[in-house]
Amino acid sequence: MMKLLNQKVLPAITLAVLSVALFASGQTAYAFGGTIQNGADSARGSDQSANLFGNSGIFQTITNVLLFILGAVSVIMIIIGGLRYVVSGGNSANVTAAKNTILYAIVGIIVAILAYAIVNFVLGSFTAGGASGGTNI
């Protein structure tokens, strides 16, 4: 019984007490009145870039680099799949494996393009006058 109390009940009680203490402390959350950019600016270190969103922002740069790497790997896998298909010699297992390699590489390219579009849409909705024309959060 004591083991159950120590493992399950005591952490739950501690979490409940801390939650009540946090909400009852009267601290104001400043994130509700600002934008995401304001929150990012307040969390940014002194040696970090201030430009997070937009065409030259960090998120866009990371997305472009990852998309380039994914595209290059997909093209290489399509070439490898083609070579496997040519060298298969009519063996049905090797032909199937080669076709699957090509198929998965094409699916990877499609997923990368969709991910790029989704990231651009989401980042555009967080910037002023973004892609969706929405307001800042």
pLDDT tens digit sequence for 75-105: 999 999 999 999 998 899 999 999 999 999 9
What pLDDT does residue 103 have?
95
pLDDT for 76: 94
> For residue 127, what are the contacts with CB-CB under 8 A and spacing of at least 6?
37, 53, 54, 136
pLDDT at 81: 94
For position 96, what pLDDT does the model report?
A: 95
Residue 8 has pLDDT above 80, yes or no: no
> Is 47 among the domain residues?
yes
Report if residue 62 sits inside a domain: yes
pLDDT of residue 83: 94
Note down the domain range covering 14.
2-126
pLDDT interval class at 120 (50, 70, 90): confident
Q: Is the pLDDT of residue 137 over 50?
A: no
pLDDT value at position 132?
47
Is 30 domain-assigned?
A: yes
Domain presence at residue 103 = yes
- Residue 64: pLDDT band with limits 50, 70, 90: confident
Total number of domains in the chain: 1
Query: Which pLDDT score, from 0 to 100, does residue 121 have?
Result: 84
Q: What sign does the dihedral 117-121-127-128 (CA atoms) show? A: positive
* Residue 108 CB coordination number (10 Å): 16
Q: For the chain, first and last CA: distance in Å? A: 49
Query: 134 lies in a domain?
Result: no
pTM summary value: 0.51
Confidence class of residue 6 from pLDDT cuts 50, 70 and 90? low
76 inside domain: yes
